[in-house]
Amino acid sequence: MKKHLVIFLLFIFSTSVAQEETTYTSKEVTISKHINGTLLTSIDANKPDLAILIAGYGPTDRDGNQNFLKTNNIKKLSIGLTKNGIATFRYDKRIVKQIRQNNVDKNLSFDDFVTDAIDVLDYFKNLNQYNKIYIVGHDQGSLIGMLAAKDKADGFISIAGAGQTIDSVIIEQIEKTAPQFTADTKRIFNILKSGKTTTDYPVALSSIFNIETQRFFMSWMKHNPVDIISTLNIPTLIINGTKDLQVSEAEALLLKEAAKDASIQIIKNMNHVMVTIAGDDLENSKSYNESQRPLADGLLEKIISFITSK
């Protein structure tokens, strides 16, 4: 009898999972030689809105993960939106593909990421299968997204996006965490602003200022987020969390000040990887590799409300 009960319960469980999975379709899409991603579409959707999700800094894949940082936050955001009738496309940053192929472009620039985002947006616009297309950028993806969205997208959402240029952000972080290197950090960025690179930096800063990274920073720091977001003539939503250790609420307020018509949502206890933190900084740091955590309370609802109300 117990054996039959176990089999019955397993059947019920597998059936419920199958039913959940069939609420949307998943399709692999190749945009260009650099970009591959996953398109999720609700089965019931008829010419739905589409959200293009752009991940943050580093070799971040379509799910929001790196080698030693696994949160699946972009994947969770994608599935959550699609289950609510909003189609989503998320993709691996081109550096991910290059690493997998052992062929990393040492001259990779920030503008290459912007080109990729524009290619994605143009691809889906040309299909003419979507009501409106929104760009949702997280962390570095916020700046990439606002550059790509200008004059092309129907709306833009920034999650944990900086309001300052990247050199100012890093200098601020160094001042807080390793103030003894503040002067060197400012000196190096001044050299980069002049269009030159340098090998004169402390060993402790080598992970930040190796030559390839310096060249990348040179292309990144020329873009000022507040200048760019102020030129967007589309519905804009700015989101930040009160437990974000990397991008403070002040950064979101800078963006809001520059984009007067934008909406802003500060989510209580949400951290940089979009989960709720009830405890201290140790819990916050550990959450960067805890993929079982759900998205922060209210995040999905605020994005869905913004998109569906337009």
The residue-averaged pLDDT of 184-201 equals 97
The residue-averaged pLDDT of 185-213 equals 95
Question: Does 97 score more than 60 pLDDT?
Answer: yes
Q: How far is CA 137 from the centre of its chain?
A: 4
Report the C-alpha gap between 39 and 123 in whole angstroms.
Answer: 12
- My answer on whether 288 and 193 are in the same domain is no
pLDDT tens column, 241-281:
999 999 999 999 999 999 999 999 999 999 999 999 999 99
The residue-averaged pLDDT of 126-146 equals 98
The reply to whether 270 falls in a domain is yes
Question: Does 60 score more than 80 pLDDT?
Answer: yes
- My answer on whether 81 and 191 are in the same domain is no
- My answer on whether 34 and 174 are in the same domain is no
Read off the CATH number of the domain in which 294 is found.
Answer: 3.40.50.1820
% the chain with pLDDT above 70: 93
pLDDT for 302 equals: 98
pLDDT for 5 equals: 44
Q: How many structural domains compose the chain?
A: 2
The residue-averaged pLDDT of 82-96 equals 97
Averaged pLDDT score across all residues of the chain: 93
- My answer on whether 196 and 84 are in the same domain is no
Structure tokens at 189: 């960025």
- My answer on whether 62 and 139 are in the same domain is yes
pLDDT tens column, 31-41:
999 999 999 99
Question: Does 161 score more than 80 pLDDT?
Answer: yes
| pLDDT-wise least confident of 22-26, 122-126, 137-141 | 22-26
The reply to whether 18 falls in a domain is no
**Boundary of a domain, candidates 177, 193, 222:** 222
- My answer on whether 60 and 158 are in the same domain is yes
The residue-averaged pLDDT of 141-154 equals 97
Report the C-alpha gap between 144 and 141 in whole angstroms.
Answer: 5
**Boundary of a domain, candidates 174, 199, 222:** 222
**Boundary of a domain, candidates 207, 222, 237:** 222
- My answer on whether 160 and 235 are in the same domain is yes
Structure tokens at 265: 């949502």
pLDDT for 16 equals: 46
Name the residue among 120, 143, 148, 146 with its Cα closest to residue 62: 120
The reply to whether 17 falls in a domain is no
CB 91 within 8 Å of CB 113: no
The residue-averaged pLDDT of 99-121 equals 95
pLDDT for 18 equals: 46
Q: How confident is the model at residue 88 (pLDDT cuts 50, 70, 90)?
A: very high
The reply to whether 58 falls in a domain is yes
- My answer on whether 149 and 160 are in the same domain is yes
Name the residue among 169, 166, 188, 189 with its Cα closest to residue 177: 169
The reply to whether 12 falls in a domain is no
- My answer on whether 152 and 181 are in the same domain is no
pLDDT for 22 equals: 72
3-class DSSP state of 157: strand
The residue-averaged pLDDT of 25-34 equals 97
Angle at 161 between CA 93 and CA 119, to 5 degrees: 35
- My answer on whether 146 and 174 are in the same domain is no
Structural domain range at position 196 = 166-222
CB 307 within 8 Å of CB 51: yes
The reply to whether 1 falls in a domain is no
144: amino acid identity, one letter = I
- My answer on whether 156 and 177 are in the same domain is no
pLDDT tens column, 293-305:
999 999 999 999 9
- My answer on whether 98 and 213 are in the same domain is no
pLDDT for 21 equals: 55
CB 85 within 8 Å of CB 44: yes
pLDDT for 82 equals: 97
The reply to whether 10 falls in a domain is no
Q: How confident is the model at residue 19 (pLDDT cuts 50, 70, 90)?
A: very low
Q: How far is CA 170 from the centre of its chain?
A: 18
% the chain with pLDDT above 90: 88
The reply to whether 31 falls in a domain is yes
